[in-house]
Chain A
Amino acid sequence: MHTTLRIRRFNPEHEHPSSYYQEYDLDVDPADSVLDGLIKIRETVDDSLTLRCSCRGAICGSCGMRINGHATLACKTKMISVASEGETIQVEPMHNMPVIKDLVTDMAPFWSKIRQVQPWLQPQGPPPATEYTAPPESMTHLSGVMSCIMCGACVSDCTVLEVDKNFIGPAALAKAYRFVADPRDAATSQRLEVLNQYGGMWDCTRCMECIQVCPKGVAPMDRIMSLRAQGMVEKIPSTCGSRHAEVFTDIIKHKGMLDEPMLAVRTFGLKHVGRLLGMIPMMAQSLLKGKVPLSGPLHRAVPGIQQIQRLFKRVRTKP
């Protein structure tokens, strides 16, 4: 098949370094991966085209890059799956990290966030003489997270990191979950307390992008949600995030429908009155557009609220 690879390039040694796109026309086997195409260019046309790659089989995590706007592994992406005959494939370095040259990014910030979660097993006391016993299903469950190859795709396309560099990010949180869910680890509470802080597990906006782009099915966002649930079970000090979840369910339980102004007031509380006041301009605008729903005593329970409450009871008794 015929295709054009449109590659975003950057040479830091250029007199006035700036990135630009360069196009390469290629005849390829449709089953070839985008990595095959890139290697073909590098080996036969232009050896200054710079990228990282190694295993060719989606296990080393070297070739993370953006293909047609989404982060993925170039080795795992078949040409035919991203372009039809004659179409152009756009290849760019990963986002949310500095570019060193062409498709090579600086992963140092990525790793420094991984290190923040103290990513090593912290068991209680000295180890037993033989192995730790552990339920087989717990290890099978963990293998889903250990499949993470640290390629950076989830971090590249994280929509929170795009606006807030302090967010620890999906890869580090999934790594943290790997220890929180490990029956051998004894530092769960400390880990969750750290993750409870600003920039931690409550800063994910659940956009699902990390689940979409993860080439290994790790589903980082699901792990973040499990961390939050575990945090609430462990009753670590409440944050706006956990209160939001609690107040949300409480309102539904009593009214059957969300009371949005009340949700904001109760989530932030007096402690975060500043953040509450910060919402006033938005409230005013909404009010002008007639979009502020009734609140407080004016917000009535929906008809048949008893049925919803019965549902709540059943869900609570059946874990």
Chain B
Amino acid sequence: MTSSPYYDVLVIGAGLAGMRAAIAAHEEGATVALLTKVHPVRSHSNAAQGGINAALTDRGDHWEDHAFETVKGSDYLGDQDAVEILAQEAGQDIIALEHMGVIFNRNEEGRLGTRRFGGQKRARTFFVSDFTGQAMLHVLYEQIMQAKISVYEEWFVTSLAKDDHGGCAGVVAFEIRSGTFALFPAKAVIMASGGLGRVYEPSTNALICTGDGMAVAYRAGAPLMDMEMVQYHPTTLKGKGLLITEAARGEGAYLLNSKSERFMERYAPNMLELASRDVVSRAEQIEINEGRGIKGCVLLDCRHLGRQILQERLGQIYAEAKTFANVDLAEEPLPIRPGMHYQMGGIKTDTEGRCWDVQGQWKGLPGLFAAGETACISLHGGNRLGANSLLDTVVFGRRAGTCAAEYAKTLPTLPISDTAIEPDRQLVRTIASRQGQGDRAAALRLEMGTTMNRYVSVFREQEGLETASHRINDLKARWPGITIQDKGQVFNTGLVAALELGFMLDCAETIIVGALTRTESRGTHFRTDYLNRDDEQWLKHVLLYHTPDGPPHVEYLPVRITQWQPQIRVY
């Protein structure tokens, strides 16, 4: 096939945001297909462990509290109209998930139970043991199977296809199993392809998190926003950087330095270990840098929680600590350190998931939508609260799906020519047929990852960022010369890795440009040469547009404030 059937709504990525969007669009009556580079249940939404936030009014909670804490967590960079929607609609989406079959933990009365999470004063995190993301992902896939929504599994998107007016009219992709290229024409495309964690080494993110969707949209003309906002999670394992859920601290675990001090008392006297992630990660890094760490780590102490709580409510990390760190959490503290975890920035969208502005304040790409970690509405601003990402995927995945279906209804079917696939097919042929001993994609990726983790991490400054910029530019220059040994068509993972690297290098460049541009410290973006938050200058978003040859073109958008003026942020 060189062209798939014509769809009203084509969703790229089948994690939580993508599947939620597909279900919503299907319910609106649109013809929908999911296109994903891995089987839906292999998606990285699996890795979300701790839970999903919602302020349920019938439990005496208030959405305004949730919204305020999200805004404060974002260091006032989150757009407050979007945050209000998130907090107001959270309840209905949690209940909808429960009705679909998610086995949320219950309290004594058989109603949904909660646990505490960071940056929030109330326990409003609903959960399934410590594999909430996995439990939700599998249930959403059940819904996809029930609705018989078409899923193109193991298809890799290489670019967006455009119509004669420059709008998004589908995607070009190839089937990994056969190497066959095809055009997927669609009236609306929803990019829900997840994060970019592999730009960093190490990272908590799965090997598939390579920023494909962000780069594909960016190259097609959609702006990426607040890319400098890269979250470091406070509790990751040394080595490969596997995640240890914040729920451990939510359930009461301590952070200790080499002197066995609960050092968070000095950094966040009220919230302690449950201050927001940027604050805790910075505190840990300071302890480590000032010599109070243990081999580059601090300690997560769960011993006082007892084996039963650990096994019942934190079973996954209990097993993970044993398997991957050889630590029995009930007996000894676990060495952990801050590690790259989440990209707050992404493809700029409005609150309906549209990657273009109907009011015209910023340019974009009509027909393109985005949701989940790929998108930046902006909800999470400078720092995302734990358990808000799952909520983001279902609330804004649903809204993007609904809006895309409505948008598709307004459009006539416009056939586009499948010649759109030619440039990509040619590029792949060139890479695959290149002979000789050029650079390996894996070697370049490692160099990129360690560079980013060294210079664009918890603490940043001009000189380091410039060094990173030079190195990434050098890698970009070397990318066209990489060679792969596998010359076959079938399941050529070497080829996929090469294309992913190209996408990641674009993402890395935007992160560095964003970090160089924002000359202040806000949220997770901490500049040692600009120590303070500067609301006068920088209460605004950084938008980056792709240019054919030079560095990205920079524009700004003011932060939308509804009811919470910026205050000094203490925990």
Contact = CB atoms under 8 A, between A and B. Distances in A.
A50 interface: yes
A136 interface: yes
Interface in A90-135: 100-101, 104, 107, 111, 115, 118-121, 123, 127, 130-135
Given A111-B39, A118-B146, A139-B128, 4 more contacts: A47-B493, A52-B38, A133-B106, A136-B106
B109 A143 contact: no
Interface stretch (A146-154, A200-208, A263-271, A290-298): A146-154
Nearest to B205: A55
Contacts of A104: 491
21 contacts: A13-B489, A42-B442, A46-B485, A48-B485, A54-B44, A54-B208, A56-B206, A57-B242, A59-B131, A60-B44, A61-B41, A101-B488, A121-B100, A131-B98, A131-B111, A131-B112, A136-B106, A146-B135, A149-B46, A150-B41, A150-B138
A59 B46 contact: yes
B494 A54 contact: no
Contacts of A121: 99-101, 139, 142
Interface in B287-341: 312, 316, 319-320, 323-324, 326
Contacts of A222: none
Given A133-B110, A146-B135, A146-B138, A58 B323 contact: yes
A47 B486 contact: yes
B286 interface: no
B41 A101 contact: no
A246 B29 CA distance: 50
A11 interface: yes
B58 interface: yes
Contacts of A11: 488, 490
A311 interface: no
Given A47-B484, A55-B47, A58-B323, A136 B105 contact: yes
Interface in B117-148: 128-129, 131, 134-135, 138-139, 142-143, 145-146
Closest 5 CB pairs of A and B: A121-B101, A43-B442, A48-B486, A47-B494, A133-B110
A115 B207 contact: no
Given A55-B44, A76-B323, A133-B110, A47 B440 contact: yes
Contact of A120 (B134, B143, B242, B490): B143
Interface in B196-254: 206-208, 240, 242-243
Interface in B16-72: 38-39, 41-44, 46-47, 58
Contact of B99 (A78, A127, A148): A127
Chain B, interface size category, equals 35 or more
A134 B177 CA distance: 43
Contacts of A58: 319-320, 323
Contact of B103 (A59, A120, A139): A139
Contacts of A130: 58, 95, 111
Contacts of A56: 206-207, 240, 242
A55 B36 CA distance: 16
Given A119-B142, A132-B98, A139 B491 contact: no
Interface of A: 11-13, 31, 42-44, 46-48, 50-62, 76, 78, 100-101, 104, 107, 111, 115, 118-121, 123, 127, 130-136, 138-140, 142-143, 146-150, 182, 184
Contacts of A60: 38, 41-44, 46-47, 206
B45 to A, nearest CB: 10
A102 B207 CA distance: 19
Given A12-B490, A60-B46, A142 B103 contact: yes
Contact of A61 (B42, B240, B484, B490): B42
B104 interface: yes
B493 A182 contact: no
Which secondary structure dominates where chain A touches chain B?
loop
Nearest to A143: B129
B107 interface: yes
B44 A50 contact: no
B113 interface: yes
A121 B146 CA distance: 9
Contact of A62 (B38, B488, B491): B38
B108 interface: yes
B95 A131 contact: yes
B106 A139 contact: yes
Contact of B110 (A119, A134, A140): A134
Contacts of B319: 58
Interface centre among B42, B113, B142, B497 (most CB of A within 10 A): B42
Contacts of B41: 60-61, 149-150
Contacts of A51: 493
Interface of B: 38-39, 41-44, 46-47, 58, 95, 98-101, 103-113, 128-129, 131, 134-135, 138-139, 142-143, 145-146, 177, 206-208, 240, 242-243, 312, 316, 319-320, 323-324, 326, 440-443, 484-486, 488-494, 497
A213 to B, nearest CB: 16
A240 to B, nearest CB: 31
Given A44-B442, A120-B101, A182-B103, A54 B490 contact: no
Contacts of B99: 121, 123, 127, 131-132
Contacts of B134: 59, 146-147, 149
A107 B98 CA distance: 29
Nearest to A179: B101
Contacts of A135: 106, 110
Interface centre among A134, A139, A182 (most CB of B within 10 A): A139
A138 B41 CA distance: 24
Contacts of B43: 60
Nearest to A136: B106
A249 B91 CA distance: 51
A266 B505 CA distance: 71
A88 to B, nearest CB: 23
Contact of A101 (B46, B95, B491): B491
Contacts of B206: 54-56, 60
A147 B333 CA distance: 26
B491 A50 contact: yes
Given A57-B320, A62-B42, A47 B485 contact: yes
B324 A57 contact: yes
B486 A54 contact: no
Contacts of B208: 54
B2 to A, nearest CB: 21
A274 B207 CA distance: 55
Contacts of A12: 490
A140 B312 contact: yes
A138 B101 CA distance: 13
B431 to A, nearest CB: 12
A59 B323 contact: no
Contacts of B489: 13
Contacts of A53: 207
A59 B41 CA distance: 10
A104 B177 CA distance: 10
Contacts of B58: 130
A255 B43 CA distance: 56
A59 to B, nearest CB: 5
A48 B490 CA distance: 10
Nearest to A48: B486
Contacts of B42: 52, 54, 60-62
Contact of A100 (B104, B131, B177): B177
Contact of A184 (B101, B326, B488, B493): B101
B490 A13 contact: yes
Given A120-B142, A133-B110, A59 B47 contact: yes
A31 B145 CA distance: 39
A51 B206 CA distance: 15
